[in-house]
Amino acid sequence: MTLEAIRYGTGSLQILNQLLLPHQTVYEEIRGVQAAYEAIKAMKVRGAPAIAIVGCLSLAVELRAGAGGDDPVTFIRESLCHLTSARPTAVNMGRAARELIEFAENESMEKNSEQLRESVIAWIEDMLQRDVNDNKKIGNYGAQHILSGVPRDSVSVLTHCNTGSLATAGYGTALGVVRSLHALGRLKRVYCTETRPYNQGSRLTAYEAVAEGIPATLITDSMAALTMREMAISAVVVGADRVVANGDTANKVGTYQLAIAAKHHGIPFYVAAPSTSCDLSLESGRDIIIEVRPPEELTSINGLPIAAPGIEVWNPAFDVTPHQLITGGIITELGVFLPSELQAALTGRLTAL
């Protein structure tokens, strides 16, 4: 069974409302940029790569209907800036916006409005396939790298949040590595954290694992260190929302403590992310803007209050793992790099942000 977070046909876009998973499978029509902005903000669609793809596809839907009239470049620029502001930590939407605006500006030198719309739509539609292809490469590189440390045995890995088909155009990043290990017949088990407060692990990663027959065990976030000690974990593999020049990595809150626990237990810690999640314009993780989300995400679950009324809440959605703790490497579609190698490996391959 293939899970589809995004359904796109010429001029029409639907997203799977991930707030309703795993109990209901409901696809919602996204008719344009504002609807995509709201869906991203509400986390109906989430995951750094999926946010960028849905944002850009919503623009394609509007362009297909002739939006922007005689000045499509202004419409494209304003729409993309708006979409980028929905969730600030993940870099993928900002990067896609930057590249697309530059592309549209260049195209506008030679093309009329109609032709420009067509070429921008083609650029956007290509994102879906590019993302899946990149994720398959990440899966393969990551699996080979992990297995190079354990030549014969099957491995157990631990992952955090959801980085699978639901967070990308398909296959996934960290969960793509897990998929590749499973496809090679070398995955003993994946341990997935619940991932409070939004439960992307228990609702989404667990859902993908069950749907695809991947051997998986759910743990609460607070069981991670114990699991590392007791369950012969060979690697911790997580995704990323932004990897900066020195390798510091912003990812779903809780990642940092996993990296500390992995270091204590001598377990290699990997970040799996496409190069589009890397941001060489920032030198260190201190410069990353961390999204702080509403208190209700902690004080209730599905609208049911679970905390003492009146308690103050701090709800940062992401944390930054220092590069020194990323001991396994950063797995990209171009290969696996130590944090110290990343900048040189990507220089010249990424557009400046």
Q: Which residues bind ligand MRU (CB under 6 A)?
A: 46-49, 161-163, 167, 173, 200, 238-241, 251-252, 317
Q: Closer to ligand MRU by CB, 87 or 117: give it.
A: 87
Smallest distance from the beta carbon of 195 to ligand MRU, in angstroms?
8
Query: E strand or H helix at 336, and its extent?
Result: strand 335-337
Tokens encoding 301: 């679950």
What is the number of helices (H) and of strands (E) in the chain?
A: 11, 16
Cβ-based neighbour number of residue 200 at 10 Å: 28
Cβ-based neighbour number of residue 80 at 10 Å: 23
Q: Please tell me the distance from the alpha carbon of residue 252 to that of residue 233, in angstroms, as a whole number.
A: 20
Q: Please tell me the distance from the alpha carbon of residue 164 to that of residue 33, in angstroms, as a whole number.
A: 24
Q: Please tell me the distance from the alpha carbon of residue 278 to that of residue 64, in angstroms, as a whole number.
A: 30
Strands 300-301 and 304-305: antiparallel
Q: Closer to ligand MRU by CB, 182 or 252: give it.
A: 252
222 Cβ neighbours under 8 A, 6+ residues apart:
none
Query: E strand or H helix at 216, and its extent?
Result: strand 216-219
Smallest distance from the beta carbon of 309 to ligand MRU, in angstroms?
26
Q: Closer to ligand MRU by CB, 202 or 251: give it.
A: 251
Concerning whether 287 is annotated as a catalytic residue, the answer is no
AA letter at 57: L
Quote the Cα angle for 270-276-281, to 5°: 95
Residue 336: phi and psi, rounded to 5, are -105, 125
Q: What is the largest CA-CA distance in the chain?
A: 64
Q: Closer to ligand MRU by CB, 95 or 117: give it.
A: 95
Q: Which residue, judged by CB position, is nearest to ligand MRU in the bound state?
A: 239
Smallest distance from the beta carbon of 139 to ligand MRU, in angstroms?
13
Q: Which of 131, 134, 241, 279 is labelled catalytic?
A: 241
Q: Closer to ligand MRU by CB, 239 or 247: give it.
A: 239
Q: Closer to ligand MRU by CB, 13 or 53: give it.
A: 53
348 Cβ neighbours under 8 A, 6+ residues apart:
none
Q: Are 82 and 103 in contact (CB under 8 A)?
A: no
Smallest distance from the beta carbon of 18 to ligand MRU, in angstroms?
8
Catalytic residue set: 241
